[in-house]
Chain A
Amino acid sequence: SQQGEEDPQALSIQEGENATMNCSYKTSINNLQWYRQNSGRGLVHLILIRSNEREKHSGRLRVTLDTSKKSSSLLITASRAADTASYFCATTRRDSNYQLIWGAGTKLIIKP
């Protein structure tokens, strides 16, 4: 079953602008991960944030986690055309055999 819900479903911005995507989930989690999927390709892991962390950075990516609101956001700064892709959040529950529960994704388009 799908636990995460991303919004917006689609986002189109100009190159150089920042892109923010949000993810909400339903149950208590062990960690939350963000993945990127380019058209016709497999998913690539971007960043993981544990349930006891509130913010994490990796290059142009910033992830926040608010466990009280059961939500996370992914910020991509200074967007590039190559960032055009679908972005998915995935959560792991403590009792889940390390399974990932996925949202439906946000489709990001960066206009040159």
Chain B
Amino acid sequence: EAGVAQSPRYKIIEKRQSVAFWCNPISGHATLYWYQQILGQGPKLLIQFQNNGVVDDSQLPKDRFSAERLKGVDSTLKIQPAKLEDSAVYLCASRAPGRSYNEQFFGPGTRLTVL
């Protein structure tokens, strides 16, 4: 089966600019996650979707970050305006429904550099 797709793979922007990332999860995976991974650290959950609804966005900086999953399939994460500290890898992951455990499948990530 095809894996989790993300684009772009790399993005360089100036601070205060806007940027958007796209994720297409594995077909049939109802749960989708966006993570932020700063160099040298583990992933930090930003938002979790179940189909097209938000399960948890408690760690999403809502003054500048937004995410949507309108049709319950692919998702976009937007940063507007970007700050220097947003430089990180943004990872998308998905999980199959009805599993007794919660293995997550990750995309390759988008490496964002804010100058």
Contact = CB atoms under 8 A, between A and B. Distances in A.
Q: Do A and B come from one complex?
A: yes
B106 A50 contact: no
Interface residues of A, number: 23
A42 B44 CA distance: 14
B104 interface: yes
Given A2-B44, A41-B108, A48-B101, 19 more contacts: A2-B41, A31-B102, A40-B109, A41-B109, A42-B4, A42-B91, A42-B93, A42-B106, A42-B107, A42-B108, A43-B106, A45-B103, A45-B105, A48-B103, A88-B42, A97-B48, A98-B95, A98-B102, A99-B56
Bin chain B's interface residue count.
20 to 34
Contacts of A104: 40-42
A68 B103 CA distance: 24
7 contacts: A40-B109, A43-B43, A43-B91, A45-B103, A97-B48, A99-B48, A105-B41
B39 to A, nearest CB: 11
Contacts of B55: 97
Contacts of A48: 101, 103
A33 B103 contact: yes
Interface in B63-106: 91, 93, 95, 101-106
A92 interface: yes
A97 B104 CA distance: 13
Nearest to B95: A98
A40 B56 CA distance: 27
A102 interface: yes
B53 to A, nearest CB: 12
B17 to A, nearest CB: 23
